[in-house]
């Protein structure tokens, strides 16, 4: 039988209230959102907070909306919310690709976007997706809020820039024209963590790649990003030769562990193939060659 260790519990009524509670109890406090990462960690004593600050009652943190040229996602939005939001799929197909393969429908009902990002599991899918989209995170603390690039948000496995008295409140994604995105994941069985996964976002100008983001999951890529492959693609034609070479570069520069999910060379093979495929799918989507809502091939 797995039960968490003894813990105190506080219910936050607002972001300000949550921050006040964090200030009072930090560093022994943890924000409790969906709890679908934190509670299993507490059962295993991998996390043993003294105080849980439950933010599920802060309805104002659960939203997905367009503000100007950005899509904004409240930290308390559930995975199921993002998967069901047409606005997210219309602009960022990668988000629907990724959400459809995160855990399972029942877990997605309660697990939150912000919780997944703050858990910062190296095998978590959204970190790579948001890195590919070049989004940013809003972190609030006692001295106000700051905006952090998605690519600077993670400082290592299970570690982020969010301080002990701070909380993630929002994710922002710039909406840009002539773009397409996709995410592909290989796992051992339905609902499992990735053996490896890749996400891409491509912005086209004529037939050339004007900007590109490539995110990699579970394969030891620094900040979940294939930076060398991105750099290579800038200004190149959006064709098969470019995609294939970018795949090879992504595989070469990541650092996957050999573990129960497979040997490192197999994971590198996956990175190469998945990167090539998501780039191809992203470009097809940017050119309107794939119907909205379709899964990446």
Partner 1 sequence: MKITVTVNGADYARDVEPRLLLIHFLRDELGLTGSHWGCDTSNCGACVVWLDETPVKSCTVLAVMADGRRVTTVEALAIGTALDPVQEAFAVCHGLQCGFCTPGMMMTARWLLDHNPDPTPEEVREAISGQVCRCTGYENIVRSVLWAAKHDGPAEDEVAADEASGGHQ
Judged by CB under 8 A, the chain residues 162 through 181 that form the site for partner 1 are none
Number of residues that bind partner 1 (CB under 8 A): 30
Q: Is 32 in the site for partner 1 (CB under 8 A)?
A: yes
- Here the tokens at position 238 are 């959006």
Distance CA 221, CA 207 (A): 28
For 216, the token pair is 């990699």
Closer by beta carbon to partner 1, 78 or else 267? 78
Distance in angstroms (rounded) separating the CA atoms of residues 211 and 34: 34
Examine residue 296 and tell whether it contacts partner 1 (CB under 8 A): no
Q: Does 50 bind partner 1 (CB under 8 A)?
A: no
* Closest distance to partner 1 from the beta carbon of 13 (Å): 12
Instruction: Give me the residue label for tokens 């794939």.
Output: 290
CB 75 to partner 1: min, Å = 17
Q: How far is the CB of 287 from partner 1 (least distance, A)?
A: 28
Please identify, among the stretches 17-25, 29-37, 216-224, 264-272, the one whose residues bind partner 1 according to the rule CB under 8 A. 29-37
Classified as helix, coil or strand, 179 is strand
Give Rg (Cα) of the chain: 19
129 Cβ contact list (under 8 Å, min separation 6): 92, 94, 95, 98, 183, 199, 215
State yes or no: residue 35 binds partner 1 (CB under 8 A). yes
| Buried/exposed code over 119-149 (b: 16+ C-beta within 10 A; e: otherwise) | bbbbbbbbbbbbbbbbbbbbbbbeeeeeebe
CB atoms within 10 A of CB 235: 11
Q: Which of 15, 17, 70, 109 binds partner 1 (CB under 8 A)?
A: 109
CA distances from 157 to 17, 118, 161, 190 (A): 29, 10, 12, 24
Q: State the nearest-atom distance from the C-beta of 55 to partner 1, in Å.
A: 11
Peptide linkage before 27 cis (omega within 30 of 0): yes
Contact with partner 1 (CB under 8 A) among 5, 13, 46, 292: 5
Please say which residue, 110 or 158, places its beta carbon nearer to partner 1: 110
> Given the rule CB under 8 A, which of 34-42, 141-149, 168-176, 241-249 is the region that contacts partner 1?
34-42
Site for partner 1 in 8-27 (CB under 8 A): 8-9, 11
How far is the C-alpha of 62 from the C-alpha of 171, rounded, in Å?
A: 11
What is Dmax (Cα atoms) for the chain?
60
Of the residues 15, 17, 23, 54, which one makes contact with partner 1 according to CB under 8 A: 54
Task: Single out the residue of 67, 68, 177, 190 in contact with partner 1 (rule: CB under 8 A).
Answer: 190
**Among residues 27, 28, 105, 207, the one that binds partner 1 under rule CB under 8 A:** 105
Listed ranges 40-48, 139-147, 164-172, 198-206: which one lies at the site for partner 1 (CB under 8 A): 40-48
Contacts of partner 1 in 138-167 (CB under 8 A):
none
Query: What is the footprint of partner 1 within residues 199-228 (CB under 8 A)?
Result: none
Crossing angle for the helix pair 264-286 and 240-253, to the nearest 10 degrees: 150
**Minimum distance from residue 275 beta carbon to partner 1 (Å):** 26
For 27-37, b where at least 16 C-beta lie within 10 A, e where not — what string?
eebbbbbbbbb
Which spans of this chain sit near partner 1 (rule: CB under 8 A)?
1-9, 11, 32, 35-36, 39-40, 42-43, 52, 54, 56, 80, 103-107, 109-110, 190-191
């Amino acid at each position: 039988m797995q039960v968490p260790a003894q813990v105190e519990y506080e219910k936050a009524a607002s972001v300000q209230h949550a921050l006040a509670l964090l200030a009072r109890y930090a560093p022994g406090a943890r924000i409790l959102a969906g709890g679908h990462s934190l509670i299993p960690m507490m059962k295993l004593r991998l996390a043993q907070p003294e105080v849980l600050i439950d933010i599920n009652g802060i309805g104002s943190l659960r939203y997905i909306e367009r503000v100007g040229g950005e899509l904004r996602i409240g930290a308390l939005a559930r995975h199921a919310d993002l998967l069901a939001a047409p606005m997210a799929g219309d602009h960022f197909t990668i988000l629907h690709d990724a959400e459809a393969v995160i855990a399972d429908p029942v877990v997605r009902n309660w697990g939150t976007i912000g919780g997944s990002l703050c858990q910062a599991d190296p095998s978590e899918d959204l970190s790579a997706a948001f890195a590919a989209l070049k989004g940013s995170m809003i972190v609030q603390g006692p001295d106000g809020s700051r905006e952090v690039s998605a690519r600077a948000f993670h400082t290592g496995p299970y570690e982020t820039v969010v301080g002990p008295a701070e909380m993630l409140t929002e994710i922002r994604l710039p909406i840009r024209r002539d773009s397409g995105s996709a995410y592909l994941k290989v796992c051992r069985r339905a609902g499992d963590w990735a053996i490896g996964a890749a996400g891409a976002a491509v912005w086209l100008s004529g037939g050339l790649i004007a900007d590109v983001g490539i995110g990699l999951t579970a394969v030891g890529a620094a900040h979940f990003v294939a930076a060398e492959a991105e750099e290579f693609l800038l200004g190149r034609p959006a064709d098969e030769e470019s995609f294939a070479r970018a795949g090879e570069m992504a595989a070469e520069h990541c650092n996957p562990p050999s573990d129960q999910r497979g040997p490192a060379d197999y994971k590198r093979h996956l990175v190469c193939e998945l990167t090539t495929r998501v780039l191809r799918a992203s470009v097809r989507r940017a050119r309107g060659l794939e119907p909205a809502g379709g899964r990446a091939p």
